[in-house]
Structure 1
């Protein structure tokens, strides 16, 4: 368009100069001025629309503007031709036709035929009419040629436009196809990267998943063998994740996992391989830089920094972590062996009380073999009666009488000797015999209650420990009801000792606990004061008593702080109207202080250890007889329960 407008103005000025002395100058000035103003207006409008990017957003409007502007310019030239003819300048009309033809040639466009046709038709029509009315013999022939010229020009302009449209369409389609292919390639590459990432990373934490971890593990082993480089394998478990997940819901549990993963990345650094193996189990490969073993230091830092986690929603939670360490090449040379040894070290850390770390030692291999033996022989022990319930008395601090007994698991393996209750419970869980183990202890507890009833000890309640993991795994309330009915006992003769985490979540133990309370079975919150137990969280729970953990009792004689805490627990229990039993009482000084503080009941080695049912019955009979005699004043002044002959003998 710029070239067209400039040529139009220059040609009109040239025509005016040639006609300056032949026609009235006012007509020339009017033609040149009008044509100049018209083309200046077209230029200004075009510049404004170009600035606003109308050519891209409104191409139809631009094309319409082009042919309308050309039409006005063509009308201006047609008027000029009429003026020349009116003043008798036939030769000048021919000259004007030549100049007009130059303009037509300039504005011929391959993009659109409309501007050329719009500019050409007014003048060509006037010329044709002038020659048709002219008396000269050649005039009709000239008019006919002008008509043919017009048709040819229109056809040529049409062909050019169609050719341009076809070529432009093909060019645009090719460009669009290339862009589409490029976009498709980019999308395919991105999708491939996403698939590869999803295949190698945990979707929640962004850490490596188990498959990618094992691949990296194998690569580290090959590199270690080739270059003599050592490294450490760390297995990390969150100690209280299950409690958090069941108590606060899976959304909060996911936040805990995300935060734990982020902290592990920060602690271990970019050089470490960090993975989430599943659930709350994480793993890491730590390079021993310059021969220095960083595993123990980093394990300690993990334990410290994962003790308390602040989730993305701002919730602060006691999580805790246990870590097991195995070393290459010191402990083993294969992935399977190293992973197994790190797992044994992790198990040792959990057994030690959690919230700590342990390196692998050769002695742990024997522990693994023992675990396998325990798991192998547990089913037969349950069937043969080798798994038994022994009973530890619980005494009323004021009367000295036995008010309850706790059923404790005992199993003497023919080769391994006495098996610890946690090991037996773990073996039951591993072999899916938890229900059978709990039923065995519960059934013997019911038999003990029958024996107590038959010997005049109807007020002695038999309590049974139930692991938090049992709730939700099978219907505990139904099992207890069936055993009570089968032994002809009232529900009040049995109590269940369970940790707070087992009853807090309706997803796990809530419904079973409610059913047990409704039928009259006592509920005792065990291990109160440690782990998850807290005053605030117990306000909404239904229970009959609290059992203060032995860790509080051990220091009450020498620690004012422990005494203050115990006083607070006793006050809290009195407010709720529930009883309190202190376990782990091992000295007379502890017992006397507990009595002074108003603790209702006690249990511990100071009075008696756990005994088989027959010995327990004899102990209760002798203890209660001595206590009654002492209360009647037959004993020496300054009587205490610890001075009972039965207690001293035990």
Structure 2
């Protein structure tokens, strides 16, 4: 808009200056004829011409420097100052002419000056300040001279001149507003036309790419997910009519995330392009190859022998994946896992087929990787079982349907009860018995690990409070904590909260952790220290299966080592296992650690373990895990003290 106002001024600037020179010269001629062109008038004339020449030079300078376009606001200010200077010069004229009679002999000067002022307002409509800077000084000078004569007709004309000033100002503002509106409309129309032209050009230019963009993955050039889904549904619809097969292969790149993390996303993108090229070079029978996203690729094989061809493709791709891939001056052997499912063998529609192939791929990744897994109905049943477990777990924890059962621990020599281990149990109303690993994995998947462990810890605390009444005052209850839980929440805080709620001393609980937690001090070190300082007993579970650090065993003041059941089974007939257990017992004795063996099932194994120096054992030989309600009877039957046994039975009778 400022540029448009400058352009409007520039357009009439030359003619305005020429007109001023002409009218100045005419005014001097009139005064000369009247004999009033003295030195003051001539000086005024010279000053006015100098201002005109200066304005012309300033305009050329602004044009040459490009300021009219680059700095229009500054240019308007400079031009307005020039107009004010010339207008003020005209306004001086009545004051240097002796005995100025505006309505008498000098009426011609009045007409010239008034005409110049009016012409400025009429001609310069684009920028009001410039026109008013020129005209207002002239009109005010004439009005003051008229009113200053104090004659009625001059005063009336002077007042009219004042009214004219007001009209000129309002007219100038209105004219500028109309100019701005017209310029805005013109620019909007031009911008709209330009926008439509560009949009039309873009549409024409992009139209040829729309189909490719809609159907192709921009990174690899393969079919994208959208086109894949449409093609899969179409191939299955065709297979229904022709009674054919549709096989679906899904490939997952092994360790792709680590490549992205270590080498950068550009390296990862380059690797994906090379994998896409390798797939295209192997699958050449017209089957659709697609990138589903990330590092996941798919191949749709249709036809009467689709399943066999899909197996052949998978075998060829897996064999080729053993060869290094070269890209960006790098090379790597990138393994692939493959899931395979087929219509109508495994699914009735496209959605089910994709789900079946995904389940097969997940099973391949969970195993040894770099292999093909075909869909098996058991995978669907397992997936549904997992979904139900995860769905019902929180409700089971809150309702108490899930809780702890307890397996006794006994002295191998005296058979005295020395403790209990709390083991999570859940009898699902629909699925039946849910194994502890299934429960733990489901809790981790739905972020209920803390609630689950707190539930088992609460059951353990309730048992601790009951044991003195059952004649057991110096036994502990062991609680298993998965090492992964230390990274999910503060196990130490949770245990302190639960034991405080039940009023149980921390020393009555034994926290069993696997060697993994001790081997990774960054994962559990601080929390284990807090539990040790709080008074909880610490035990290392499944000892001998990991990589325990002796320094941590000493530093953490571990109380017990639990020898894994794999060393205990058939120990009476395995000399190797006997030597291993003897070494572990010796280690425990050297570190003043109690040794507990689990999985004892035969009297022969128990006798050998006692001879090897094992002090405490648990296993089916002594008792299976049982609910808390069944413990009283078992304790009464297995306490070695007959007096305590009679006391416990008498207590049962009196309660009954």
TM-score, scaled to structure 2: 0.49
